[in-house]
Each structure stands twice: as structure tokens, then as C-alpha cells.
Amino acid sequence: MSVRRTLILLTTSAMLCGGTSLALAQGASSKSAKQAPAKQAAAKPEAKQAAGGAEPTLLGQFGGWGAYTAAPSGKKVCFALAKPTSSKTNPPNRPRDPAYAFISTRPAEKVANEVSIMIGYPVKPGSDSTLDVGGASYAMYTQGDGLWIKNAAEEAKLVEAMRKGADVTVKAVSGKGTQTTDVFSLKGLSQALDRVAQECR
């Protein structure tokens, strides 16, 4: 199973969690970016199976960003995850699955702070997708419903801009031609990434 597919499955697993779920944690409005107590995410059986038996654990909630850990196939993965604060489609009100931004660290593969967007629909092959933050625009490549930075050499610069920025805007086009714009608040991202780094050294 590819790394990207595993991360998408982990994200899907986190999205489907019940009880102290991602939806509850991400939907709770936080007036500060203080860490919430660590909670075990109670994943539904199908979510656990989809993640290869891995069950994501919420390490803490920081503003709009949750810090998580899981161990698919026994390899530890940590990631920060957020929902968009606003989403628009053109034409308006087109149906799609939820969008999520996540930044993952996989120590066994020596990967730190890989930025990905799960856009919520299959992206139009060959279309341009962008991520804008802090006055800079980053070209993204697409695969299925995922977006990743095209120039991996710019990833550290992107993460630093995200740590300092107020929000990030992601633009993409679906296979059916629907244009989408998702805005993610970056409040709490620095703290979530610090917690991820602490957990996945």
C-alpha cells in the first residue's frame, strides 16, 4: 500500500471516528490554542479496518488543528489535521465529500511535515491546483482526491509560511469541471506541529 493511500485511509479513519471524534474535536470552537487533554479516538470498526487496523489517537486540539498519531502496519505516523473554515464551489452548492488539510510525519521513512490536502472529489487530470499562503502561491500536483506540493524542495518553506500565516487557500477543479476554493485557518497549527514533532521524533 502506498504512503499516500495509507495517509488518506488514516485521514478517512479519523474523519469517521465516533465519540471523541475528529468531527467533534474539529467542530468545537476554541477561544485559545491551548492543548486539550489527550483522548483516544474511538474509531468505528470499518474505519479501523480501512486504516489497516490502525486507530488514530488524538494527542491534542490546538485551535482548528488536531494532532494525531497512529501506527499502520506497525509504523508510527503523526499528523496535524484540519477542516476548512470556508468552502465554495462554482457552480455553487455542488456536492462533495469533506475536505481536509493534513501535515504528516513518518519517522520510519524519514519524512517530516509533508503537506497534503484531501480535496473531497477526484481532481480533473492535468488541471492546475494551487495553495496560497502569506502572499505566496505553491503549485500542487494531484492524484485521485489528494493534492501534494509539486516542488518538494519548497515544502519546508511552505510549512514555515503556514506556521506564520493566518490562513491558507486551496483551489482545485473536479473531474466534472467544478471549481472549488477552500480556506483553512492556521490558528493553532504551530502548536499542533510542535506536538506532532514531540510524538514522532
Chain-wide mean pLDDT for the chain? 80
Please tell me the least confidently modeled range out of 33-42, 56-65, 96-105, 135-144.
Answer: 33-42
Query: Domain 3-199 is of which CATH architecture?
Result: Sandwich (2.60)
What does the pLDDT read at residue 126?
84
Q: How far is CA 34 from the centre of its chain?
A: 20
What residue segments make up the domains of the chain, in order of their start?
Answer: 3-199
DSSP state of 42: B
Provide the grid cell at 167.
490562513
Predicted TM-score (pTM) of the model is 0.78
Return the half-sphere exposure (C-beta side, CA atoms, 13 A cut-off) of residue 112.
13
The grid coordinates listed for 59 are 494527542
DSSP 73: G
- pLDDT exceeds 70 at position 175: yes
Q: Residue 67: its pLDDT value, please?
A: 95
